[in-house]
Structures are given as structure tokens and as C-alpha cells.
């Protein structure tokens, strides 16, 4: 099937006319926060979430003359029961109206989170800027899928397209405005020391030696749709771009849909963004401007007006050593008296993550998985690490009986460890929008305890400030052995120590002060880049002229 641009007449007009807004210069947080020695800033959410209404679609196939392209009857997005649902288009429109947000001007991937069934990342260089600008306006812009379109199944294209630019890409387009984000300006390679990577040894070579000017994200429910869109796009872009690298991601099959390659349900802890959705119990609520530039809660001033309603996109290719991780669990079961060795291994894995494979948090299910809890989005995120009923003060600073301080979801969203009530003015929230890549583990790989074919997570996060968002979480929390308390050690999942062994405490329920030394990085950074995902009006009025 041929994919043609979505024409505006196919899109329901639910969003009010474009409303121009003044920039808020909220209490300047800016770069000073990164130097806070205590790192006791605010909470933010980590693992993903959001949901879609995939099955409950009532779109009709209108085969009228306006329909130049196939209309969707089922959503392109996935909808694991345990993840928070995406808002309905009506609910999102009401929320957006309340804060004067124009969901039609915001690229669709930013607020949707980890809901893609199939997604391709196409990294490109701009070879001829003049031609590229023409193509950006006439070919790419009409294909860019906005947020409102993705929420409305009948408005979804066969293949959604988003585009984002690196700093070198903006320069190639003669756009010299300072976006006031130093990690973005320098690029990810220059930020490598802050991320814990052991140099570029493991990096995909294209992320090291090449100027990647931008990335096109193509998402659909089938890889064939994506292939068709890509080949038609490439034909139209001709020599104005050159392909540098691409990575195909896919939701895992069957009942693993929504789970990352180690097997744990992902996406539960994405924040509820004001102007987009209402929170489930325990879900962090973040001001719009923590994710979208120029909105309420974006503390950075002096950015060019066209940057408003864009978001910084952090891309990281995170390889996961699944058989190696499983062997580590098998070899180191927690020896609780009531548990079998297998249960002890499962418990070790759950304590490393902070959740069971079902998504049930260990804080609420400390010894064995509780799949009913895991599947219930009203309960699976409803905890603070505080005592039951506690509404002020901090969590118990020595109690790791339910969840280690080092657990991945606790390191990256410490909730009551940073004090109660969990502040809504936190500036360390990100929306995670990544997708698994690579094949399932083969029986041969499992038996040999060795990864033979690369798989992992195509990590994507959106935030209005990389230093307060992704970089903060990775550098000052996950990689910081003193966070949240001295002796806690690294995040055992994503924490990185320049390739050196990582010491972690709290994992052994029978002796939480026993340090465990991880000599393998089960998650290996293969590098990436920092991008800016502009609003549709910025593409039309600034980047393509």
C-alpha cells in the first residue's frame, strides 16, 4: 500500500485554534542543580507508561472521495493492560485546552511513550541543505504525525513519522539560535564521560565518526508499512540526505509485548504530563514544561520562540546481555528460607529492577511475583517507599526489606526517598519512548549463557532539559554509588562505571549490607546522539525556510 500524507481534512478538529502563549520563566533551575552535592532534588518517574486504546476502536472506514489513503480501523499502538492507558482524544483535548496546549503542533512521539509496535530509526546527514529544506517542507512536513492524530485511531496514518535534529543538523540548516542546552549543543559523544560509558569501544561506529544531522522515526504496526514509507521517502529525498545508520525496533511477541528483553514489563512509571493525561494512583504528575520547551515548568529562559513545544530527544542504543543476566541470577539466588533456588533467583532479578516481570513492584510484593497486582495499573504504581499512610517526611533510610535503594526504578525515581509529598515541581522527569530491538533469545544462546546476536533497547527519552532529565538520571543517580545514601552502590541495571566492576548493596534480602560486585555490564551502551524534536510550526516556519 502506498502511504500518502495525511490530509488535514481527515483529522478531527478537536483542538482549538492556535493559541499563542507567552514564555514562562519559572524559577530558574538550570544547570545549578547538577552541582547539588546531595542530589536530593526532586523525584521523577522512570520506567514508562501510558496506554492506548488499541482494542476499543470504533473507527469507520470512510471510503469517500477525500480518502486518498487507507484509513485505520485498529490502532498502530500497543496497549499492555498493566501500562497506563493513553488518554482518549476527548480527554487529552480537554486537558490540553486547560493549559492552552496545541496537541496538533506537537510531534506525536513525545507524549505517547513506549507504545509502538514497530519502529525504525533512520539517522541521516544533510548533503544539500537547500534541497533538504525544500523536501522538509514539501515531503516530510506533510507526513509528520502530531499528538492528536496518534490519539485518534481514525486519524492515524499507516505509518507515523517524526523528525528530530542534532546540533550539527541545525547548523547545517543555518539555524544558529542557541537552544540553551549544553549537552545538546555539544552532542552525546562529548558527554560520554558523564554517562559512565567506557570510552567509545562499544559504540556503534556511526555514532562516533560521523556527523548525524537528524533522525527520522517511523512507526507502525507492521515493519512492511515502515519499509514502504521509507522507500518512498528515500526516493523523494534523493541526494539531499545520506543515510548514515538505521535501527529497527519491535515490541516483543505474544505475552511479552510491552516487556523489555530481560523480561520485565516496561512503561509503568512514565509520568502523567499536565495538558495531556490525568494520573493513575502513584503516577508522577509533571508540569508540561518539564517535557516541552517553552511551556509552564520549563525553567530555561532565552530560548528562541520557535523552540516552543519542541522537546529534546535523547537516543541511546542499549544492548542487553540477556543470557548472561539470566546466568547471573541462576548463580546467585537469594537464599531466603521459604524460597526455592529458582524463586531466589527470580527475587534477585526483581530486586535489581524494583519490579517483578509482571510489573508488580517489589515494594508491594516483596517475596514473590503477584501477577494480578502487576496487571492492575491502578495499583502497580501506587506506592511511595514511605510507611503506609505517611504523607510527609522521608522514607525509612535503612529499610531495604521490601525494595533495595539501588533498585533500578528506585534509583531513577526515588519518590519518598527525596521527601513527601513527592513534589510536582520535580525537574528530573523524562517521558520514555523507546522500543526493544533485536531478536528473541534462541535456545542455543540460552544454553550457552552467551549473547550471539545483539538485542536490547532503543532508548528514547524526551525532556525540556537534558542536564536535568536523562543526563541527571544516568550520571547523578544511576551511576552515583552514594545516591540515595552512602554505600548504596550503582543502579545494577543501567548504572555504569566506565566498564569497571560495579558494587551494589541492598540486593541480598537476607543481608542488605552485603555488597555484591557485578563484573558484567548487562546493559552495554552502544552510544547515541542528542536531538531536538521541533514543533510542526517550527518545521514549517523556521527550519524549512
Ligand X SMILES: *[C@@H]1O[C@H](CO)[C@@H](O)[C@H](O)[C@H]1NC(C)=O
Q: d(Cα 161, Cα 222) in Å, to the nearest integer?
A: 14
Phi, then psi, of 161 in degrees rounded to 5: -130, 135
> Does 520 engage in binding with ligand X (CB under 6 A)?
no
Nearer to ligand X, 21 or 171 (CB): 171
DSSP state of 469: T
Among 8, 231, 398, 541, binds ligand X (CB under 6 A): 398
> Does 482 engage in binding with ligand X (CB under 6 A)?
no
Nearer to ligand X, 379 or 429 (CB): 379
Binding mask 299-338 for ligand X (x = CB under 6 A): ----------------------------x--xx-------
Nearest approach, Cβ of 393 to ligand X (angstroms)?
10
Phi, then psi, of 308 in degrees rounded to 5: -55, 140
Nearer to ligand X, 129 or 336 (CB): 129
Among 99, 129, 285, 540, binds ligand X (CB under 6 A): 129
> Does 378 engage in binding with ligand X (CB under 6 A)?
yes
Instruction: Show the CA angle centred on residue 522, arms to residues 364 and 465, nearest 5°.
Output: 75
> Does 448 engage in binding with ligand X (CB under 6 A)?
yes
What does each C-alpha distance from 487 to 280, 504, 516 come to in angstroms?
33, 8, 12
Is 266 catalytic? The answer is: yes
> Does 174 engage in binding with ligand X (CB under 6 A)?
yes
Q: Can you say whether the dihedral through the CA atoms of 53, 59, 65, 68 is positive or negative?
A: positive
Q: d(Cα 65, Cα 48) in Å, to the nearest integer?
A: 40
> Does 342 engage in binding with ligand X (CB under 6 A)?
no
Of 13-21, 27-35, 179-187, 509-517, the segment contacting ligand X by CB under 6 A is 509-517
Q: d(Cα 290, Cα 278) in Å, to the nearest integer?
A: 16
Of 202-210, 411-419, 425-433, 506-514, the segment contacting ligand X by CB under 6 A is 506-514
Nearest approach, Cβ of 129 to ligand X (angstroms)?
3
> Does 281 engage in binding with ligand X (CB under 6 A)?
yes
> Does 503 engage in binding with ligand X (CB under 6 A)?
no
What does each C-alpha distance from 243 to 240, 250, 254, 437 come to in angstroms?
10, 21, 32, 19
Helix (H) or strand (E) holding 411: helix 408-412
> Does 388 engage in binding with ligand X (CB under 6 A)?
yes
Q: d(Cα 304, Cα 176) in Å, to the nearest integer?
A: 10
Place of cell 520514555: 432
- Which cell numbers in the block locate residue 339? 524460597
Q: d(Cα 437, Cα 249) in Å, to the nearest integer?
A: 4
Of 46-54, 214-222, 228-236, 392-400, the segment contacting ligand X by CB under 6 A is 392-400
What does each C-alpha distance from 135 to 18, 112, 167, 470 come to in angstroms?
25, 26, 20, 32
> Does 514 engage in binding with ligand X (CB under 6 A)?
yes
Nearest approach, Cβ of 388 to ligand X (angstroms)?
6
Nearer to ligand X, 295 or 422 (CB): 422
Check if the beta carbon of residue 274 is closer than 8 Å to that of residue 95. Answer: yes
For strands 311-320 and 435-437, give the pairing: unpaired
Check if the beta carbon of residue 315 is closer than 8 Å to that of residue 121. Answer: yes
Nearest approach, Cβ of 8 to ligand X (angstroms)?
28
Q: d(Cα 69, Cα 482) in Å, to the nearest integer?
A: 55
Nearer to ligand X, 382 or 425 (CB): 382
- Kindly give, in sequence order, each residue whose CB lies less than 8 Å from that of residue 112, ignoring residues fewer than 6 positions away: 50, 52, 77, 86, 147, 150, 433
Of 129-137, 160-168, 227-235, 287-295, the segment contacting ligand X by CB under 6 A is 129-137
Of 76-84, 160-168, 366-374, 511-519, the segment contacting ligand X by CB under 6 A is 511-519
**Active-site residue, selected from the candidate residues 181, 197, 266, 491:** 266
Among 382, 423, 497, 537, binds ligand X (CB under 6 A): 382
Of 128-136, 224-232, 451-459, 467-475, the segment contacting ligand X by CB under 6 A is 128-136
> For ligand X, how many residues bind (rule: CB under 6 A)?
21
> Does 391 engage in binding with ligand X (CB under 6 A)?
no
> Does 40 engage in binding with ligand X (CB under 6 A)?
no
DSSP secondary structure letters along 169-237 = HHHHTT-----S-HHHHH-TGGGHHHHT--TTTTS-HHHHHS---EEEEEEESSHHHHHHHHHHHHHHH
Nearer to ligand X, 373 or 473 (CB): 373
Nearer to ligand X, 224 or 399 (CB): 399
Phi, then psi, of 540 in degrees rounded to 5: -70, -45
Q: d(Cα 425, Cα 242) in Å, to the nearest integer?
A: 42
Nearer to ligand X, 116 or 379 (CB): 379
Nearest approach, Cβ of 340 to ligand X (angstroms)?
15
Nearest approach, Cβ of 506 to ligand X (angstroms)?
11
> Does 396 engage in binding with ligand X (CB under 6 A)?
yes
The catalytic residue positions are 266
Applying CB under 6 A, which residues contact ligand X?
129-130, 133, 174, 281, 327, 330-331, 378-379, 382, 388, 396, 398-399, 401, 448-449, 511, 513-514
Amino acid at each position: 500500500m502506498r502511504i500518502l500524507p495525511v490530509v488535514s481534512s481527515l483529522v478531527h478538529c478537536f483542538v482549538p485554534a492556535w493559541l499563542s502563549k507567552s514564555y514562562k520563566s519559572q524559577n530558574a533551575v538550570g544547570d545549578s542543580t547538577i552541582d547539588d552535592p546531595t542530589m536530593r532534588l526532586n523525584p521523577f518517574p522512570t520506567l514508562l507508561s501510558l496506554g492506548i486504546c488499541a482494542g476499543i476502536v470504533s473507527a469507520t472506514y470512510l471510503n469517500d472521495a477525500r480518502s486518498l489513503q487507507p484509513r485505520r480501523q485498529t490502532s498502530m499502538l500497543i496497549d499492555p493492560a498493566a501500562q497506563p492507558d493513553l488518554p482518549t482524544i476527548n480527554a487529552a483535548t480537554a486537558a490540553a485546552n486547560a493549559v492552552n496546549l496545541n496537541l496538533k503542533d506537537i510531534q506525536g512521539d513525545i507524549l505517547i511513550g513506549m507504545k509502538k509496535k514497530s519502529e525504525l530509526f533512520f539517522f541521516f546527514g544533510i548533503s544539500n541543505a537547500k534541497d533538504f529544506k525544500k523536501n522538509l517542507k514539501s515531503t516530510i512536513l506533510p507526513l509528520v504525525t502530531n499528538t492528536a492524530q496518534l490519539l485518534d485511531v481514525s486519524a492515524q496514518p499507516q505509518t507515523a513519522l517524526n523528525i528530530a535534529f542534532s546540533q550539527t543538523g541545525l547548523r547545517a540548516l543555518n539555524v544558529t539560535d542557541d537552544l540553551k542546552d549544553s549537552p545538546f549543543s555539544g552532542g552525546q559523544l562529548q558527554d560520554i564521560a558523564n554517562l559512565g560509558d567506557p570510552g567509545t569501544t562499544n559504540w556503534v561506529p556511526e555514532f562516533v565518526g560521523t556527523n548525524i544531522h537528524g533522525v527520522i522515526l517511523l512507526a507502525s504496526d507492521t515493519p512492511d508499512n515502515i519499509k514502504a514509507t521509507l522507500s518512498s521517502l528515500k526516493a523523494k529525498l534523493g541526494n539531499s540526505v545520506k543515510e548514515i545508520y538505521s535501527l529497527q525496533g519491535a515490541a516483543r511477541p505474544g505475552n511479552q509485548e510491552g516487556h523489555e528483553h530481560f523480561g520485565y514489563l516496561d512503561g509503568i512509571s512514565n509520568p502523567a504530563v499536565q495538558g495531556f493525561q490525568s494520573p493513575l494512583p502513584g503516577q508522577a504528575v509533571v508540569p508540561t514544561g518539564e517535557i516541552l520547551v517553552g511551556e509552564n515548568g520549563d525553567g530555561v529562559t532565552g530560548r528562541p520562540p520557535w523552540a516552543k513545544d519542541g522537546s529534546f530527544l535523547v537516543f541511546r542504543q542499549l544492548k542487553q546481555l540477556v543470557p548472561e543476566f539470566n546466568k547471573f541470577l541462576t548463580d546467585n539466588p537469594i537464599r531466603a528460607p521459604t524460597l526455592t533456588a529458582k524463586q531466589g533467583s527470580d527475587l534477585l532479578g526483581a530486586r535489581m529492577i524494583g519490579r517483578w516481570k509482571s510489573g508488580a513492584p517489589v515494594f508491594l510484593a516483596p517475596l514473590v511475583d503477584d501477577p494480578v497486582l502487576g496487571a492492575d495499573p491502578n495499583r502497580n504504581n501506587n506506592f511511595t517507599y514511605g510507611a503506609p499512610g505517611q504523607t510527609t517526611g522521608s522514607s525509612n533510610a535503612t529499610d531495604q526489606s521490601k525494595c533495595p535503594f539501588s533498585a533500578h526504578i528506585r534509583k531513577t525515581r526515588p519518590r519518598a526517598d527525596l521527601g513527601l509529598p513527592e513534589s510536582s515541581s520535580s525537574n528530573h522527569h523524562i517521558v520514555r519512548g523507546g522500543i526493544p530491538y533485536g531478536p528473541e533469545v534462541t535456545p542455543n544462546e540460552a544454553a550457552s549463557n552467551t549473547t550471539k546476536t545483539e538485542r536490547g533497547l532503543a532508548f528514547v527519552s524526551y525532556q525540556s532539559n537534558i542536564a536535568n532529565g536523562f543526563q541527571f538520571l544516568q550520571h547523578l543517580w544511576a551511576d552515583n554509588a552514594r545516591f540515595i545514601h552512602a554505600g548504596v552502590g550503582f543502579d545494577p541495571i543501567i548504572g555504569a562505571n566506565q566498564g569497571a566492576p560495579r558494587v551494589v548493596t541492598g540486593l541480598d534480602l537476607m543481608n542488605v549490607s552485603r555488597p555484591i560486585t557485578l563484573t558484567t555490564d548487562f546493559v552495554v551502551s552502544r552510544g547515541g546522539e542528542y536531538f531536538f524534536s521541533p514543533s510542526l510550526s517550527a518545521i514549517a516556519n523556521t527550519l524549512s525556510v
